[in-house]
Amino acid sequence: MPAMPDEHQFLDLIGQIYDAAAGDEDWTRVLGGLARMLGGQAAVLQRPQAPGQAVQVLVSGIDLAYVGLYGAHYHTVLPIRSWLPRLPGGSVFVDRMLLADRDYVRTEFYTDFLTPQDQHASLSWLARNRQGGGATPALISVWRSRRQPEWEPAQLRLLHQLAPHLEQALEIERRLGASAAHRAAAELVQGAAELTGRERDCLAGIARGASSKEIARQLALPIHAVNDIIGTAMRKLAATSRSEAVAKALVLDLLGR
C-alpha cells in the first residue's frame, strides 16, 4: 500500500485542480498527480457530454491510441456502463464493487482493451452534476495493473476527500467555457449589427456562388472596392475566410434582407 500524502501534497494537488479549471494548468498533469497520490499507474477524465455527442476523455499514463479506440467503440461495452446512471452523484467506488472479478475479466472490454494496456482494476469518482437528463456524467478513474495490490479503503477515502474539489473545478470550467461562448456570440452579434447594406449584398453574392467580378458588375462597383467591402465584413464577423463569413451571416439571418 502506498504511503498516504501529507497535508502539503494534498493541498498542492487541490490547487492544481482549480488551476486546471481556470486554464492555468493541464488536466493531464492533474490526472498524473492524482494517479501517483492514489498509487495507480494511469488516470482518465471523462468529461460530461450530451446524448449523441462523442465521448471526450483526457488521460495520463495511457497510450493515446487507446483513447481513440475507447471513443470509437469500447465506451459502449464498458462493463459498468449500465450501473453509472443508477449510482448516486458523488459516488466513489471500485469497479469490482459493481461487477465480480470473475465476470469482469471475461468481458470484451477487459480482454481486448484493458489487457493490452496492462490495466486491471479502477477506482472511480462519479460527478453529481449530470448536465441534464441522459448526459454522460463526468467520471474520473484511476487504474492499477494486476501486479499491484487491490484498492483499499484508504484510497477510497482519499478520493472521496478530493471529490468536492473535482466537482467544483469542473463546474467552474463549465461556467467559464459558457461565459467565453456567450462573449464570442455577443461580439459576433455586435459585429453583424455593424454590417452595411453593401457588405450584406457582397456576402449574399458570395453565398450565391458569384465571384468578386460578378458581384462588382451586379453592384456597379470596381472589383477592388468589392474585395475591400468583403474584407471589412470578414473582420466584423471575425471570419478567417469568405465562406466562414457567409456561414456566420446565414446563421444570423442577415442575407435574406
pLDDT at 257: 47
Which of residues 189 and 70 earns the better pLDDT score? 70
Cα–Cα distance list, 228 to 27, 74, 205, 246 (Å): 43, 51, 14, 15
Please give the class, per CATH, of domain 7-177. Answer: alpha beta
Domain ranges of the chain: 7-177, 194-251
The pLDDT assigned to 8 comes to 86
pLDDT score of 218: 92
Give, in order, the Cα–Cα distances in Å from 118 to each of 62, 153, 169, 252.
10, 23, 30, 51
Q: Are domains 7-177 and 194-251 of this chain identical in fold? A: no
Does the pLDDT value for residue 222 go beyond 90?
Answer: yes
- Write the pLDDT tens digit of every residue in 146-202: 999 999 999 999 999 999 999 888 888 877 776 665 666 666 666 667 789 999 899
Model's pTM, two decimal places? 0.68
The CATH class given to the 194-251 domain equals mainly alpha
